[in-house]
A and B are shown apart, each in its own frame.
Chain A
């Protein structure tokens, strides 16, 4: 689904040039759940932003669903993003001035979904994520975990081809963080493609593959085997 070849990103300020990414090559197939890990400044978020079409690369090739994204005009990138990608951020990035319902509905509005369909879709996904009782509230009235679930609902509502998560549990305590990771696991189980950037080994262990980065380059890739203590997990819930 995603084919990246020799991707580079150079940040230029007045006098300084920083190589954020150096010739990254990476492939992500449909249905993969991949984590990207690495120390601060290794370029993980930069890579994620480029994949999410929020930023542009300085060189190389990035193919999304068979279409080349490097060099594409802003408008077309935006179109590709809104149709195919769902974002989850560390600090949720909900619009505080809109209700939960309005926040989740937003992608549908920008994708010209007729209003009768919108209500149903929002209601459905809210039920799935367990936040339908909070639809009329504002984000500030929700707990961190609930806010992230709203963000997930927003990311998913348009049935995107790929979900990009940038440190989704970073602002959450362990219980809430766990819940979000379980959510992502469920999504993956139902066929979603997920790319996640994280600092935490624990979170990375939920994914299939982990990519290690340092100083703008991929150091290694490893597959994860997760040992789930079935009984303990159920008891804790």
Chain B
């Protein structure tokens, strides 16, 4: 039986090489698209799966109200909670960002990325495999450092690192453990120290939210009780204490400062997949993008399956006689269905293999677009592959098989293969669906492209070209701001340097600090703090639109005068916000100027209220000064940079290399992801159009070939070519129009939703819609008319004699 089926299958392939190849290609592209998405999905879901402790761990987040959920905590919560409740097994604070610093051993200096700090019990939360040393002893004192295998080989080559001393952050540490990072985790540090303990010690009375906090509970069911305890601690130790200090009642305090912060527990497993702030430095998944990618690839697979079904049912006519004979000779309906499902299985198998080849070849390109390291393997992946295989066979194979098995032998043998009305409408419906999907993709990718283009070219409110952002690492024993002042004088002497200034912020990074601002009795406004030195607005091209900039001429400018950006100024609700007094950071400050709003974070975020004050106005600000901004002339840039490099290496930092980025390039990082997504979408778009066009061509060919006899008769009766062409192509043009109409609605709705996530966005333009219509019409007409022309050139006699 199978041999018989295989023989006829091979015969058909040999005689229809072109169509079979296109059919297999179409299906394989659809499957390849889905495989890409699945690889990404699997990878994102595989983080932390290895961790045996994962179900016991909870991350503490804080809901400040107004949609502000922060992933950071104060140093007070942990220890206070431990004494307040017995449900807590242990807690661990950690830094929410990696540090990038030099590590030295034996005179050798290496710049190490991903240096992490946590409390000593870190490895009981993340039990990495230890190659040397053990989890318990790796961080047992302030001088211990644990490093990863890679870091060990970089610094120590073949030496045994245990017990040796390394210099990091101006201190000496002893290596007490080497761990191996062989699985994906939310934290994958090159080195771990406990220097966070110093910070925690210093801030043990402060309610500043700065640290990530994870908890292990004795019983998972106790979460509500523990959260309640945390909230109580906040109210008692923060709100009520502050109210007492201010001499007002707790209720009055509530009225002015709003509801107290509420704690939220995020269960660790799957925490990466929850949108919002995430405490671990590896960052969380871009869930929305993942979902969009999955959705699009399913759509493409659907398109190729619909294509296959259309072709198979159209092709069925060619097999009608064979099916008739088989039935007469004794085949049951079930056997006919089995035969055609078998054929679909073979084609799907070829497509699957071809899809895997396509994926393997394109994987490097895909990885670079997503900034990931996906590989084509994994036991879960194989199971999913089999699942896809079966689903594709069922969906695309069963319907045409049933359609074919319903042919009545008598009718087909007589050649009276009259079209069943149901079959026609379904086929046409699917063609319309193809057009609709193609419309959606064309419009979608165009709008995405336009939005990204808009983001790349928008006036950001600052000018970042020619401005270098130089890494400025702190040195022990010296104050950052003093060092900066000296360096600044020297830098200005270098040829090509036009201006030097500094700000405790860095475009394109996520570095940010916030605090509450109060004006009169108004509700607290959480503002972004931007500590600056004089002249930074000139360096960055940021405009002061009212009042004046800070300047060295005014002594109070270094103490208590500030500027606000437009957004912050609006919250004061004064016609003229100048010279008004606000309270910030516990002090009274005066507003001397308003700055035009500029984008600091990427364009999907609204501009936040910002407060600009001099670095020296608050003692604690200067330790966060980590960059110096230098504006250089556009001529002879390489020479200027070389001179800066030389100066830096000798006078500023002999250990940490001279690292800089241009501010505009830095900012470009915020939308780089979107640029990649736009490229991906455009690529998908081309694929979709290809598949849809192919489907149309094959479908048009087949249905026209069935009408050959009718065309022959019409020709005999005198119809000329033009009339025939019109007649043949009319219905396709109508379907194209209907498909377009059906496709624009979801396109509009879904893209509207996508755009809503951008604070700065384009309005949905009309152009893409027109473009999609024109493009589709053009493609449809070209293909259909080409085929129609070919068909009208037939030899009339050949088809009239056939009976």
Let me know if A82 is at the binding interface, CB within 8 A. Answer: yes
- Docked-complex contact B329 and A106, CB < 8 angstroms: yes
Task: Select A82's contact among B15, B325, B330, beta carbons within 8 Å.
Answer: B330
With A95-B8, A98-B7, A99-B7 in contact, is A106–B326 under 8 Å at CB?
yes
Let me know if A154 is at the binding interface, CB within 8 A. Answer: yes
Residues 14-62 (chain A) with a chain B CB within 8 angstroms: 49, 54-55
Residues 324-366 (chain B) with a chain A CB within 8 angstroms: 324-332, 335
Name the distance in Å between A65's Cβ and chain B's nearest Cβ: 17
Let me know if B766 is at the binding interface, CB within 8 A. Answer: no
Which residues of the other chain, A, contact B12 by a CB distance below 8 angstroms? Answer: 97
- Docked-complex contact B11 and A54, CB < 8 angstroms: no
Residues 157-185 (chain A) with a chain B CB within 8 angstroms: none
Which residues of the other chain, B, contact A154 by a CB distance below 8 angstroms? Answer: 329
Residues 1-39 (chain B) with a chain A CB within 8 angstroms: 1, 4, 7-8, 11-12, 15
Most buried by B among A54, A87, A105: A54
Let me know if A102 is at the binding interface, CB within 8 A. Answer: yes
Let me know if B272 is at the binding interface, CB within 8 A. Answer: no
- Docked-complex contact A55 and B410, CB < 8 angstroms: yes
Task: Select A97's contact among B11, B410, B413, beta carbons within 8 Å.
Answer: B11
Let me know if B490 is at the binding interface, CB within 8 A. Answer: no
Task: Select B325's contact among A55, A75, A78, A95, beta carbons within 8 Å.
Answer: A95
Residues 85-136 (chain A) with a chain B CB within 8 angstroms: 87, 89, 93-95, 97-99, 102, 105-107, 109-111
Bound CA span A107–B1, Å: 11
Bound CA span A94–B332, Å: 18
Let me know if B409 is at the binding interface, CB within 8 A. Answer: yes
- Docked-complex contact B328 and A98, CB < 8 angstroms: no
Let me know if B787 is at the binding interface, CB within 8 A. Answer: no
Find the B residue at minimum CB distance from A106: B329
Find the B residue at minimum CB distance from A112: B1
A interface bracket (residues with beta carbon within 8 Å of B): 20 to 34
Most buried by A among B7, B324, B326, B329: B329
With A93-B413, A102-B7 in contact, is A81–B328 under 8 Å at CB?
yes
Let me know if B170 is at the binding interface, CB within 8 A. Answer: no
Which residues of the other chain, B, contact A95 by a CB distance below 8 angstroms? Answer: 8, 321-322, 325-326
Bound CA span A106–B322, Å: 11
Which residues of the other chain, A, contact B11 by a CB distance below 8 angstroms? Answer: 97-98
Bound CA span A93–B325, Å: 7
Complex interface bits, A74-86 against B, C-beta within 8 A gives 1, otherwise 0: 0100100110000
Which residues of the other chain, B, contact A55 by a CB distance below 8 angstroms? Answer: 410
Which residues of the other chain, A, contact B413 by a CB distance below 8 angstroms? Answer: 89, 93
With A49-B410, A93-B413 in contact, is A110–B329 under 8 Å at CB?
yes
Task: Select A78's contact among B8, B324, B327, beta carbons within 8 Å.
Answer: B327
Bound CA span A125–B8, Å: 23
Bound CA span A107–B325, Å: 10
Complex interface bits, A122-156 against B, C-beta within 8 A gives 1, otherwise 0: 00000000000000000000000000000000100
B interface bracket (residues with beta carbon within 8 Å of A): 20 to 34
Bound CA span A87–B327, Å: 12
Find the B residue at minimum CB distance from A52: B328
- Docked-complex contact B329 and A82, CB < 8 angstroms: yes
Bound CA span A12–B603, Å: 71
Which residues of the other chain, A, contact B8 by a CB distance below 8 angstroms? Answer: 95, 97-98, 102
Which residues of the other chain, A, contact B4 by a CB distance below 8 angstroms? Answer: 98, 102, 105-106, 109
- Docked-complex contact A97 and B330, CB < 8 angstroms: no
- Docked-complex contact A93 and B327, CB < 8 angstroms: no
Bound CA span A75–B324, Å: 15
Complex interface bits, B308-334 against A, C-beta within 8 A gives 1, otherwise 0: 000000000000011011111111100
- Docked-complex contact A81 and B330, CB < 8 angstroms: yes
Which residues of the other chain, A, contact B409 by a CB distance below 8 angstroms? Answer: 54
- Docked-complex contact B330 and A111, CB < 8 angstroms: yes
Name the distance in Å between A121's Cβ and chain B's nearest Cβ: 14
- Docked-complex contact A94 and B325, CB < 8 angstroms: yes
Find the A residue at minimum CB distance from B318: A97
Residues 405-459 (chain B) with a chain A CB within 8 angstroms: 409-410, 413
- Docked-complex contact B328 and A54, CB < 8 angstroms: yes
Which residues of the other chain, A, contact B335 by a CB distance below 8 angstroms? Answer: 110
Task: Select B321's contact among A78, A93, A106, beta carbons within 8 Å.
Answer: A93
Which residues of the other chain, B, contact A94 by a CB distance below 8 angstroms? Answer: 325
Name the distance in Å between B421's Cβ and chain A's nearest Cβ: 13
- Docked-complex contact B332 and A75, CB < 8 angstroms: yes
Name the distance in Å between B343's Cβ and chain A's nearest Cβ: 12
Name the distance in Å between A32's Cβ and chain B's nearest Cβ: 22
Which residues of the other chain, B, contact A78 by a CB distance below 8 angstroms? Answer: 327, 330, 332
Bound CA span A98–B10, Å: 10
Name the distance in Å between A122's Cβ and chain B's nearest Cβ: 12
Name the distance in Å between B415's Cβ and chain A's nearest Cβ: 9
Name the distance in Å between A9's Cβ and chain B's nearest Cβ: 12
Which residues of the other chain, B, contact A105 by a CB distance below 8 angstroms? Answer: 4
Bound CA span A106–B324, Å: 13
Name the distance in Å between A172's Cβ and chain B's nearest Cβ: 17
Name the distance in Å between A54's Cβ and chain B's nearest Cβ: 5
Which residues of the other chain, A, contact B322 by a CB distance below 8 angstroms? Answer: 95, 97
Name the distance in Å between A49's Cβ and chain B's nearest Cβ: 6
Task: Select A87's contact among B15, B321, B328, B332, beta carbons within 8 Å.
Answer: B328
Which residues of the other chain, B, contact A107 by a CB distance below 8 angstroms? Answer: 329-330
Name the distance in Å between A113's Cβ and chain B's nearest Cβ: 11
Bound CA span A54–B327, Å: 10
Bound CA span A94–B328, Å: 11
Bound CA span A98–B763, Å: 61
Bound CA span A38–B8, Å: 39
Find the B residue at minimum CB distance from A107: B329
Which residues of the other chain, A, contact B327 by a CB distance below 8 angstroms? Answer: 78
Find the B residue at minimum CB distance from A75: B332
Name the distance in Å between A16's Cβ and chain B's nearest Cβ: 16
Bound CA span A81–B327, Å: 10
Find the B residue at minimum CB distance from A49: B410
Name the distance in Å between B674's Cβ and chain A's nearest Cβ: 53
Name the distance in Å between B367's Cβ and chain A's nearest Cβ: 45
Name the distance in Å between B787's Cβ and chain A's nearest Cβ: 24
Name the distance in Å between A137's Cβ and chain B's nearest Cβ: 13
Which residues of the other chain, B, contact A93 by a CB distance below 8 angstroms? Answer: 321, 324-325, 328, 413
Complex interface bits, B169-212 against A, C-beta within 8 A gives 1, otherwise 0: 00000000000000000000000000000000000000000000
Name the distance in Å between A42's Cβ and chain B's nearest Cβ: 17
Name the distance in Å between B527's Cβ and chain A's nearest Cβ: 78
Bound CA span A49–B411, Å: 11
- Docked-complex contact A110 and B331, CB < 8 angstroms: yes
Bound CA span A181–B7, Å: 33
Name the distance in Å between A75's Cβ and chain B's nearest Cβ: 7
Find the A residue at minimum CB distance from B326: A106
Bound CA span A111–B330, Å: 7
A interface residues (Cβ-Cβ under 8 A, vs B): 49, 54-55, 75, 78, 81-82, 87, 89, 93-95, 97-99, 102, 105-107, 109-111, 154
**28 pairs, CB–CB < 8 Å, chain A vs chain B:** A49-B410, A54-B409, A81-B330, A82-B330, A87-B329, A93-B325, A93-B328, A93-B413, A94-B325, A95-B321, A95-B322, A97-B8, A97-B11, A97-B12, A98-B4, A98-B7, A99-B7, A102-B7, A105-B4, A106-B4, A106-B325, A106-B329, A107-B329, A109-B1, A109-B4, A110-B326, A110-B332, A111-B330
Beyond A78-B332, A105-B4, A109-B4, list 17 extra A-B contacts (CB 8 Å). A89-B413, A95-B8, A95-B322, A97-B11, A97-B12, A97-B322, A98-B8, A102-B7, A102-B8, A106-B4, A106-B325, A106-B329, A110-B326, A110-B329, A110-B330, A110-B331, A110-B332
The 6 closest A-B pairs by CB, nearest first: A82-B330, A110-B330, A97-B11, A107-B329, A95-B322, A106-B329
